[in-house]
Structure 1
Amino acid sequence: RMAVLVPPQNYGMVEQDLYRSAQPNELNFPFLENLHLRTVVCLAPDQLPSSLIMWLEDQRVRLVYLGEEVGKRSPWKPVSEETVLEGLHLLLEPSNYPLLVMCNLGRHRTGTLIGCLRKVQGWSLTSILEEYRRHAGTKCV
Structure 2
Amino acid sequence: MSSLVDDIMMPIYMRFSLFNFGMIEEDLYRSGQPNELNFPFLEKLGLKTVIWLAPEEPNQRFLDFIDDQDIHLYHLGVVSSMNAWDPITEEVVLEASELVLTPKNYPMIVMCNLGRHRTGTIVGCLRKLQRWNLTSIFEEYRRYAGPKVRVLNEQFIELFDTDLVRVPIDHPKWL
| TM-score in same-fold range (> 0.5) | yes
Given candidates 14, 18, 23, the residue that maps to 1:13 is 23
Please list, as runs of the form range in 1=range in 2, the aligned pairs for 1:115-130 lying within 5 A after superposition. 115-130=124-139
Query: What is the CA–CA distance in structure 2 between the aligned matches of 1:74 and 1:55, rounded to whole Å?
Result: 30
How far residue 74 of structure 1 moved from its aligned partner, in angstroms, is 4.1
* Higher helix residue share: 2
State the alpha-carbon separation in 2 of the partners of residues 114 and 16 from structure 1.
14
For each residue in 1:84-130, what CA deviation from the matched residue of structure 2 results, as whole angstroms up to 9, or x when unmatched? Answer: 00000011111111000000000000000000001111111111001
Hey, what's the Cα distance between the residues in 2 that align with 1:132 and 1:52?
Answer: 25
**Which amino acid is 1:60 matched to?**
D
1:104 matched residue in structure 2: 113
Query: Which letter maps to 2:89?
Result: S
Give unmatched runs, 5+ long, in structure 2: 1-8, 152-175
Give 1 or 2 for the bigger CA radius of gyration.
Answer: 2
Divergent runs of 4+, >4 A? none
For the pair 1:80 / 2:89, whether they are aligned, the reply is: yes
- The root-mean-square deviation of aligned C-alpha atoms, in Å, is 1.3
- Cα distance, 1:47 vs. partner? 1.8
Q: Return 5+ residue gaps in structure 1 as ranges.
A: none
1:75 & 1:59 partners in 2: Cα distance? 31
Query: Percentage identity across aligned positions?
Result: 56
Size of the alignment, in residue pairs?
140
Residue number in structure 2 paired with 1:135: 144
In the aligned structure 1, how far is the partner of 2:49 from the partner of 2:57?
18
Change (3 A) 1:52 1:67: farther
1:99 is matched by which residue type in structure 2?
M
Give the 3-state SS of the residue equivalent to 1:13 in structure 2.
strand
Tell me, in whole angstroms, the C-alpha distance in 2 between the residues paired with 1:88 and 1:68. 14
TM-score with structure 2 length normalisation?
0.76
The aligned counterpart of 1:31 is 41
Deviations 1:34-63 (A, max 9, x none): 100010000011121111011001111100
User: 8 Å contact 1:42–1:67 — kept in the other structure?
Assistant: no
Distance of 2:85 and 2:17 partners within structure 1: 30
